[in-house]
Each structure stands twice: as structure tokens, then as C-alpha cells.
Structure 1
Amino acid sequence: MSFIKTTEQDSAYNDLEKMSISEVLRHINTEDKTVPLAVEKALPQIEAVIVQVVHCLKNGGRLFYIGAGTSGRMGILDASECPPTFGVDSNVVIGLIAGGDQAIRNAVENAEDHPQQGWLDLQQFHINSKDIVIGIAASGTTPYVIEALKQCTKNQIATACITSNQNSPLSVVADYPIEVVVGPELITGSSRMKAGTAQKLVLNMISTTAMIQLGKVKGNKMVDMKMTNAKLIQRGIQIISTTLNLTAEEAARLLEQHQTVRKAIEQFKS
């Protein structure tokens, strides 16, 4: 089957500049509603990736996200949320972006076009066969990401990808491709919109489900979260209070004594 880049196809909407704010909002909302349905079609692919992620993490490996532009930022966002939410070290889930950290805020021209740099960036972390790398690229044609996954394969490192085009060059080189086909964007080619939303939804699924499988959630509570501010401390107290049927004051004392929600609950029950 030939490769058709639907993310670059012409928008179904024209004369956007002539529309009222209300009209533009309705059209954006109409398009956004299609994204979860596109993700739903890819659930079997997403599950296959999560199985591999859990296997790697349980055996001492790490999860890497690698992308350029919006795709790279989405990976970094998901990776950065894992330590505070699930209490894992910052070197368990790692996000890389073409152009380096400066590209998180400002576009670095042509960074995604350097095919060798992705692998060089991964090597800075001494990547090995215990790890898994997920390449993120809406187009599925980003050289920085494609070549990185090729080199991973040569070095017996598991690979997956998230893209919004079927049969893309990226999907071909990934062991476990995820293809969420959201169709043309409201603004032609602006894949930060529906394609970016799809990436966020899929990344939520991957990290959240993997961490649940690793025991980082008890019931439906974040028992390993890092309590770095007053809001999170209060959340921890509430979890302990509800789980152990204690007053807020008793829960607060337990939390202060044991410093983590998990330890407070386990020590009380032991």
C-alpha cells in the first residue's frame, strides 16, 4: 500500500479568516471530537506497545520518547510528569527533542532534518538493549526520529512509534507502530492540533497504564506521588485518611512520620 500523508492534505474548511470567532471555535471543536475515536481504533497497537514498555521497565530498562517540534515536546511533557505523579526516578522515563532542551521553548531550525543526531542524543544516556524507544512524529517522516529507531534496531533495542499517517517510513522501521489517523487539520498541515492531541492521549495511556502495571497506583490513588507542594500534601493526607478511615489530623501525623503515602498506609496496616 502506498504512503499517503493525510496530515498534509488540504483542510475541509476554507476562508477561515472570514469566519467569526464562534464559527472557528465550532469547527475546531468538531474536528477535535474525532480524535478519541481515532485513538480507539489504535487501541490494539497501543496495548502491544505497553506490554513491551512494562516488560522493559520491570527488567531494569528505561522508556525513551524521541521527537521533533510538537512531537518532541509532547514526549518531554509526559516524561516530566512521571516522577511527581508516580514517584519514579527522573531517569526511568526520558524525553528527547531534536535541537536539545532549547527547542522545548523555541524552534531550532532544521534540527529534525539531521538523521544522525537522534542516535547521538540517545547514546548520551548509554542506551542499551534493556531499554525501549518510542519515536513520535505526526508525519512519520522525520529523519531525526527515523534514523534513531533504525540504529536502535541494529543494537537490539526495542522500538515503537506514534504517528498520524498510515504506512509511513517511521511505522516501517518501528517494531511496534501506533498509527492514529486523525485526517487533515483545520489549518492545513498544522499537526500541533489534532495530531498533537492524539499524541497526548496516547502518551497518557502508555505511561499511566505502565505505571499501574508496575504497582505505582493503589486502588485509584497515586500512593507514590512526590508531595512537593501544599496541594499535594493535602492530597496525600486525604488518601491516607480515606484509605485507613482516620481523621485528617491522624493522617497528617502518619504522613509526617513516614514521608510517603505508601509507607504511611503500609506501616499502619502492618
Structure 2
Amino acid sequence: MYETIKLNLNNLKNNKIFELTVVAVIIISALEIGAKTFTLSNTAVSVTYILDIFITLFFLFEISVRFIADDDKKSFFKKGWNIFDTLVVAISLIPINDSEMALLARLIRIFRVLRMVSVVPELRVLINSLIKAMPQLGYVILLMFIIFYIYAAIGSFVFADINPVLWGDIAISMLTLFRIMTFEDWTDIQYETMEVYPMSWVFYLSFIFFTAFAFLNMVIGIVVNVMEDERSKLRQEKESAKNVPTIEDLHNEIQELKHLLKQQNSQSNTRE
């Protein structure tokens, strides 16, 4: 009985229509959360309340299907995305009306939109790539901070008398340099200092070259390399999953063996 239910739920979990339905419910959940930020009529509030109950129950059903259909239930909660989905669903079950946990429950409901990441494999690859790239990015960020610190110290020493609002101390100078790196009206800052120091353009262009060009390309290169590794792992997992027989395949093979045994028994009985 249990194996039959497990087989049916596994077929449901792998069904494309069911996967698209989950994605559609996540999108509806996002729209419902956005609708609550507007001033709604009493009818609309009732509709969103009923819709919220339906979405919560659907997510509870979906996570239950995934857990029951999983072959290795001991490892189910060892996966980060399964833990995230379960926490979001569990906290969504908390009643939010007249409760001290109302604000937390509402905030958690916002994170239901992130379930799109756990449902779509390509999005999981992107997030996993960013997380795994963080150790390598840490050294790039450290080097960028050193460059920021050196240029901020130079800027505060040289340009503080020109514009103390932008170059008053090293902390303000670093904020100004971040504005320059993002190209937010940086030419106005440059032309202001060039009126006193005509060669100050070297300061700005060299800083932009190091940060906006060199370091940005380093970050992109690291993320792309990690992403390629994650995609290759995903392809290998898909290929290995194809080679591993599913419960449905084993069930079909058992049925075929039973059919062959029946044929052999009938043949032996006719001979006798």
C-alpha cells in the first residue's frame, strides 16, 4: 500500500504539469503579497485571505509529496533548499491575526517568493554558484578595500580643502569613491578638483580602471567559472539519474517477471 502511494506521488512530483502548477502558485503568491501593500476593499481583503490559506495548504501538500516520494528520507533535510522550503511552509502555518508573531509570519510569507529558486534548477545553479564563489570573491573584495582605502586617504589629504563634504575624512572619501566607481555624476567631482589640480584626472581614471574595470572583471570571471562547474555537476546528476532505475521501472520489471512466470506455469501445466 505504502509503495503504491509512494510510486504515485513520485510520478506526481516528476510530472511537468505539477511542476508548472507549483511555479504558477508561487507567482500567484508573489502577486498576492504585492496586492496587500495597496489599500484594498473588504471584498479584496477577503479574497486575499482565502487565497493565502489556499497557497499555504498547497505548499504544505507539495512539500509532503516531495518528502514521501523521496527514496532517502534521512538525507531529505540535509539539503539546504529542502530545509528552507520546510521552514517557510511551517512558519506560514502560524496564524497571523492578533498574534505576537504576526510581523514575523508576514515577513516569512514574503520569502515564499524565493521558493521559485528551489523549484527551478537553473535558478538553484545561480544561487549555489554565488554562494560557492564567496570564498574566492573574499580576496578580491579585500584587495578592492585596500585600493579604496589608499585612494580615500589620498583624496582626503589632497581634496579636503576643495570640498570637505565629499573629502572631509577617509570614511566620507570612501563613500565618494563608491559614487565614482558607480559612475554617479563622477565627472562633476572630477571637474571640481581639476580647477585647483589640473592633473587630478589621473587620480580618477586610475581608480576607475582598478575598480570598475579590473576588479569587476575578476568578480565576473570567478562567478562564471564556478557557475560552469555547477552546471557540469547538474548535467552529471541528470545523466546518472537517467541511468538509475526508478521505482516505476522496477515495478514494471516485477510485473513482467510475474507475467513470464505465469506463462511458464501455464506451459508446464499443459505439458503435464
Q: Which has the larger radius of gyration?
A: 2
Bigger share in helix: 2
TM-score scaled to structure 2, two decimals? 0.24
TM-score scaled to structure 1, two decimals? 0.24
Bigger share in strand: 1
